[in-house]
């Protein structure tokens, strides 16, 4: 019985680690996109816009992977006594915003900032639960 409980907790921790890895990568990509977006807003030009969109695409990919990892984490967490599941707020997904201009740049910067805050909140939530699980071992 004890070994089964320990195994379930360890599986949940491993799932949390995978989710956190993708969330951290997404946060780094969003931070980079934000920096390039600011440069783009201030008149950085075509190349800075391409780099910004590349970083946004990287972040979107990691967010998709994080969503899958969070679903697995939630599933593993249901196997641990005291947890029914984990609900992490949904992430903003980026649309292909290739329009140019100052107003569009400001809108995209706002979307990047919102996604970054959501990512940071998810990291905090998963980290707190992971720490609780670690204490259970």
Residue pair 61/93 in contact (Cβ under 8 Å)? The answer is no
Residue 135, domain member (yes or no):
no
Q: Is residue 136 part of a domain?
A: no
Count of domains observed in the chain: 1
User: What pLDDT shows up at residue 110?
Assistant: 82
Does position 1 have pLDDT exceeding 90, yes or no? no
Averaged pLDDT score across all residues of the chain: 80
- Residue 41, CA distances (Å) to 35, 66, 101, 108, 117 in order: 10, 29, 8, 10, 20
Determine the structural domain holding residue 110 and report its residue range: 2-130
Tens digit of each residue's pLDDT (9 = 90 or more) over 52-102: 778 888 888 888 898 899 989 988 888 887 776 555 555 444 443 344 555
In a domain, 7, yes or no: yes
Q: What is the 3-state secondary structure (H, E, C) of 70-94?
A: HHHHHHHHHCCCCCCCCCCCCCCCC
Residue 20 is assigned to a structural domain of this protein: yes
- Residue-level pLDDT at 4: 87
Sort 64 into a burial class: Cβ within 10 Å, 0-12 / 13-18 / 19+. Answer: middle
Spatial distance between the Cα atoms of 128 and 28, rounded to a whole number of angstroms: 20
In a domain, 77, yes or no: yes
Q: Is residue 137 part of a domain?
A: no
Residue 69, in any domain of the structure: yes
Predicted TM-score (pTM) of this structure: 0.77
**Would 65 be classed as within a structural domain?**
yes
């Amino acid at each position: 019985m004890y070994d089964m409980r320990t195994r379930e907790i360890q599986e949940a921790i491993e799932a949390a680690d995978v989710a956190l890895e993708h969330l951290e990568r997404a946060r780094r990509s969003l931070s980079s996109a934000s920096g390039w977006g600011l440069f783009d807003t201030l008149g950085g030009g075509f190349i800075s816009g391409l780099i910004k969109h590349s970083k946004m695409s990287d972040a979107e990919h990691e967010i998709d992977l994080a969503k899958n990892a969070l679903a697995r984490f939630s599933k593993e967490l249901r196997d641990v006594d005291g947890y029914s599941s984990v609900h992490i707020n949904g992430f903003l997904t980026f649309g292909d915003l290739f329009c140019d201009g100052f107003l569009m740049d400001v809108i995209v910067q706002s979307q990047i900032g919102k996604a970054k805050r959501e990512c940071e909140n998810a990291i905090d939530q998963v980290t707190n639960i992971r720490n609780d699980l670690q204490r259970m071992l």
